[in-house]
Structure 1
Amino acid sequence: MQRLKVAVITPGSFVIPSPRSSSVERVIAHMVPLASHKLQAQIYGIKGAETPDHGDVDGIPCMRYTRGAGYIREVIADLKRWLPAVIDVHNRPAFAYAIREALPDRKVVLTLHSTTFIREPHLKRKDMGRILLAMNRIIVNSAYLGATVAADSPDAVRERIVINKLGIHPGDFLPRWTPAAEALRSARLDDFGWSGRRIVLYTGRLVPGKGVHRLLKALRRVVHTCPDVLLLIAGSAYYGHDRLTPYTAALYRQIRKLRLGRHVHFLGYVPHPALASLYQLADVTAVPSIEAEAFGLVNLEAMAAGVPVVASRIGGIPEVIQHGKTGWLVYPSRGEQEMADAIIRLLQQPGLRQQMGEAGLDEVRRQFLWQHSAQRWAQIITDCATE
């Protein structure tokens, strides 16, 4: 039987595949190939120096065009030639609407990864309902994101919202809790000069909404109880670049003011494949967000590595972390006492860390694999095509 033709449109910001892309491109690169037995997919992205104009992403054809204002026009021209039954546009409502206008007889799906591009300055509130009403489906990665979209939308939009939670490939991560993994971890810590240190890991962008300044406040309290603690900060303000920003400069000043110099180490931007080995070093992963995360893929990455998470009870994070089982969910507070207490408790109890870490890995295997995401996505696309 002929497979249904589906086009997957990336935002046009990063090359796909690339270790220096955003999470949007990673989701597409991991998920879409796993649905190839059901769907005839074709991916659209931008050109890059390291990639051919037309290549593939793990066996899925990938058409690449010049980044910039002309990107979506070139994509539309190719869509008119290929004529897929369904067009899935990721995280760019304006692109999805332009495609709907250009190909009115095709089914158009908008996959949202966050609220960023349905908010000003990217999308005016008065235009949101009109654009979302033009979509046949709106895929979101959490119930929180679905509720946020629905709250500002007409009833007809709410009926088209479907949830497809993200996934992980556990084979990319080496869980800590085996003798071999612990021996490797010990050797790597020794190589870095961090033997005897208890490691808290933060991975993500260095922007105010991610709350690293919160984590530093909590760390000051942690140090009093666990003087051997070391916070590793892997990330930068921009994907792929370590340029200093006012916020990162403020973090450095905060560290000096709190006298945390020997307890914090900045690793700068770390390409995604290299992050897996960092999780193996961690005793705890911290996710101190103060702005609502739609999902928070870093939580799954830590769980896949068998590392317990201390995360903000905000946005879609509680849909991933089971409080008291796979990690601790904390509220923002003055001085970050609750976050500090959760980190201290885990650092002081190796048995609890292992218990939570293993529970997190079990949860990933149970419901957060890319295979699960791909199966749901294929069904959503098929249902959309046949409605």
Structure 2
Amino acid sequence: MKLAFICTEKLPCPAIKGGAIQILIDGVSPILSKNYELTIFSIQDPSLPNREKRGRIEYIRLPSGKRYPEAVAKELGKGNYDVIHVFNRPKNVPIYAKAAPKSRFVLSLHNEMFAKEKISAKEAEEAIRSVRTIMTVSDYIGRTIVKRFPSAKNKVRTVYSGADLSTFIPVWSKEGIRIREKVRKKIGAEGKKIILFVGRLSANKGPHILIKSLKYLLNKHKDVVLVIVGGKWFSDNSIDGYVRSLHKLAKPFKKQVIFTKHVAPKEIPKYYLAADVFICSSQWQEPLARVHYEALAAGLPVITTKRGGNAEIVKHKQNGIVIKDYKNPKAFAEAIDSLLSNPQKAAKMAQKGRQFVKTNYQFKHVAHRLERVYLEAVGGILQ
């Protein structure tokens, strides 16, 4: 079978600049390419050739911008692909289907791309007709599609993401402990209790709430440090109004808030190992942030918000804590305190989280679920 993956026009593949979609593709492509011919389309980057083969995977990188879909479509016409997997761009599916009429199409959605402000009813219905399956990263995203377009109900299917356990080694392992101490020394947080945030610095992600929570937390835990990993937008470390406001908010806490700026994707796992608690403070209806899989895989107790799909994999008081009062800094402080004050409870949650990923949310599991979708698209049967 010949497969094609079509990335969005935002970031290159492999995930040299991050991106949940690109990281997912990096995780499943070596597994899928053992049995299938795989071509990955993404945008160009100065550090990558426009065309290359890595093992059994072919990469075709095209100029970014408005002409990207047309450039991809032109290439598709040359390929005779059995299945074409379009990532997060339902608007582009009809363009690609016209270029490759004999191919079967599947679409995966990582955000609310069927919302009114993203796509017209006419465009959406055309996209739905053009695909065999619409995979969503969470049940939440699936519900948003069906609510607006009941015609999609029989095509929508949740396919959860995952993590690479060989990359996210557990914090309690010998190697994990060694890396932990090295990173703590690097950021100047030796002997501290580290609360970790990883993500874009935007109001939707809520790091401002975490900074505000320190006012309550420091009364009991004076050795706490909040480490904020991320830039304004993936690899972009420029300062906008919101980032400026975060630094202003953090100023009274001095060395108890550490901004690392953007960290290269391959270095991110080391920061999980340095932490004691991981927090996803999403304020918006989060589709289901992949940082949850990463933190669970690294063996960290996780605190998240009951927004969007987050609570679908973080189970309250089992492998983490789910906060309903997500706008309240005090609610975060109380959740953090409950873990820092009960290390045995925190360790138990962390171990359950690691096991949760190990049993069903490694990239090999994700690849298997994707393979099932692809074979169903062409009428095949998974052995």
**Could you say which TM-score interval applies, normalised by the shorter chain?**
over 0.9
Establish whether residue 114 from structure 1 lines up as the match of residue 114 from structure 2. Answer: no
Establish whether residue 86 from structure 1 lines up as the match of residue 83 from structure 2. Answer: yes
Residue aligned with 1:82, SS:
coil
Letter in 2 for 1:127: E
Equivalent of 1:251 in 238, 246, 250: 246
* Aligned position for 1:306: 299
Structure 1 unmatched ranges of 5 or more: none
Residue aligned with 1:6, SS:
strand
Residue aligned with 2:191, SS:
coil
Give the Cα–Cα distance (whole angstroms) in 2 for the partners of residues 281 and 385 of structure 1: 45
Letter in 2 for 1:134: S
Q: Is the 8 A contact 1:85 1:107 kept in 2?
A: yes
Q: 1:386 to 1:283 in 2, by over 3 A?
A: same
* Aligned position for 1:206: 201
Q: 1:332 to 1:144 in 2, by over 3 A?
A: same
How far is 1:68 from its partner?
2.3
Write the deviation string for residues 225-278 of structure 1: whole angstroms up to 9, x where unpaired: 11110000001111111111111112122224xx22231111101111111110
Equivalent of 1:221 in 216, 220, 224: 216
* Aligned position for 1:129: 125
Q: Is the 8 A contact 1:204 1:234 kept in 2?
A: yes
* Aligned position for 1:347: 340
Aligned pairs for 1:27-176 (under 5 A) are: 27-56=24-53, 59-115=56-112, 117-119=113-115, 121-125=117-121, 127-155=123-151, 157-176=152-171
Give the Cα–Cα distance (whole angstroms) in 1 for the partners of residues 230 and 294 of structure 2: 15
Letter in 1 for 2:339: L
How far is 1:364 from its partner?
0.6
The percentage of aligned residue pairs carrying the same residue is: 25
* Aligned position for 1:317: 310
How far is 1:320 from its partner?
1.2
Give the Cα–Cα distance (whole angstroms) in 1 for the partners of residues 121 and 240 of structure 2: 30
Establish whether residue 364 from structure 1 lines up as the match of residue 364 from structure 2. Answer: no
Write the deviation string for residues 202-229 of structure 1: whole angstroms up to 9, x where unpaired: 0000111111122122222111111110
Give the Cα–Cα distance (whole angstroms) in 2 for the partners of residues 110 and 308 of structure 1: 33
Q: Is the 8 A contact 2:304 2:322 kept in 1?
A: yes
Establish whether residue 381 from structure 1 lines up as the match of residue 374 from structure 2. Answer: yes
Give the Cα–Cα distance (whole angstroms) in 1 for the partners of residues 175 and 81 of structure 2: 49
* Aligned position for 1:266: 259
Q: 1:26 to 1:376 in 2, by over 3 A?
A: same
Q: Is the 8 A contact 2:80 2:102 kept in 1?
A: no
Aligned-residue Cα RMSD (Å) equals: 1.9
Q: 1:13 to 1:221 in 2, by over 3 A?
A: same
How far is 1:47 from its partner?
2.0
Structure 2 unmatched ranges of 5 or more: none
* Aligned position for 2:227: 232
Q: Is the 8 A contact 2:138 2:160 kept in 1?
A: yes
Q: Is the 8 A contact 1:84 1:106 kept in 2?
A: yes
Residue aligned with 2:378, SS:
helix
How far is 1:108 from its partner?
1.6
Give the Cα–Cα distance (whole angstroms) in 2 for the partners of residues 168 and 180 of structure 1: 18
Write the deviation string for residues 265-301 of structure 1: whole angstroms up to 9, x where unpaired: 1110111111111011100001110111111110111
Write the deviation string for residues 104-146 of structure 1: whole angstroms up to 9, x where unpaired: 332221111111x333543235532333233221111111111
Give the Cα–Cα distance (whole angstroms) in 2 for the partners of residues 85 and 49 of structure 1: 31
* Aligned position for 2:271: 278
Q: Is the 8 A contact 1:29 1:58 kept in 2?
A: no
Establish whether residue 194 from structure 1 lines up as the match of residue 196 from structure 2. Answer: no
Give the Cα–Cα distance (whole angstroms) in 2 for the partners of residues 239 and 325 of structure 1: 31
Q: 1:192 to 1:212 in 2, by over 3 A?
A: closer
TM-score (ref. length: structure 2): 0.93
Question: Which is worse superposed, 238-247 or 215-224?
Answer: 215-224
Write the deviation string for residues 166-187 of structure 1: whole angstroms up to 9, x where unpaired: 0100110231213553355335
Q: How many equivalent residue pairs?
A: 380
Residue aligned with 1:44, SS:
strand
Give the Cα–Cα distance (whole angstroms) in 2 for the partners of residues 57 and 275 of structure 1: 24
Give the Cα–Cα distance (whole angstroms) in 2 for the partners of residues 188 and 87 of structure 1: 41
* Aligned position for 2:281: 288
